[in-house]
């Protein structure tokens, strides 16, 4: 069972989506949630503070989610951080690119609460969190 106190960063440029993800996480028992509005801010926060999990959009201004993911994997301090992509990008090459860049999971928008829970638990299980 994953620690419900784990610190989660939600990265999305749409405030509505950040709120939705935050509320869903709260519904699942995860209340320690922070937000960032693009990859640049997300990366800066990840480097400055300790987080246990990242839920990120793909298409964002300044630094997109895929690029952020690549930089996380290239950063010695962050490279093992689990990242779940939650995005409207739904082409085959998107999913391949995200998987190759080291995403731990991929959820396509629009998604359901059940899907998010299932993917989170799958990642926790795999990583033994």
User: Which residues of this chain interact with another protein, rule CB under 8 A?
Assistant: 12, 14-17, 19-20, 23-24, 27, 58-59, 64, 66, 88-97, 99, 103, 106-113, 115
Closer residue to another protein, CB minimum distance, 41 or 89: 89
Q: Tell me how far, at minimum, the Cβ of 70 lies from another protein, in Å.
A: 12
Paired tokens of 76: 């010695």
Q: Tell me how far, at minimum, the Cβ of 93 lies from another protein, in Å.
A: 7
Q: Tell me how far, at minimum, the Cβ of 105 lies from another protein, in Å.
A: 8
Q: How far apart are CA 88 and CA 70, in angstroms?
A: 19
Residue 79 exposed, middle or buried by CB count within 10 Å (0-12, 13-18, 19+): exposed
Longest dimension (CA), the chain: 36
Paired tokens of 86: 């939650």
Closer residue to another protein, CB minimum distance, 50 or 101: 101
Given a contact cutoff of 8 angstroms between Cβ atoms, the answer to whether 69 and 80 are in contact is no
Q: Tell me how far, at minimum, the Cβ of 48 lies from another protein, in Å.
A: 27
């Amino acid at each position: 069972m994953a620690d419900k106190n784990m610190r989660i960063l939600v990265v999305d440029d749409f405030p509505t989506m950040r709120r939705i993800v935050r509320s869903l996480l709260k519904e699942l028992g995860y209340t320690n949630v922070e937000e960032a509005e693009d990859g640049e801010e997300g990366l800066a926060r990840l480097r400055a503070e300790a987080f246990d999990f990242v839920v990120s959009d793909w298409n964002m201004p300044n630094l997109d989610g895929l690029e952020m993911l690549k930089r996380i994997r290239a950063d010695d301090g962050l490279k093992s951080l689990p990242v779940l992509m939650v995005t409207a990008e739904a082409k085959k090459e998107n999913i391949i690119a995200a998987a190759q860049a080291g995403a731990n999971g991929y959820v396509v928008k629009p998604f359901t609460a059940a899907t998010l829970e299932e993917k989170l638990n799958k990642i926790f299980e795999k990583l033994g969190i």
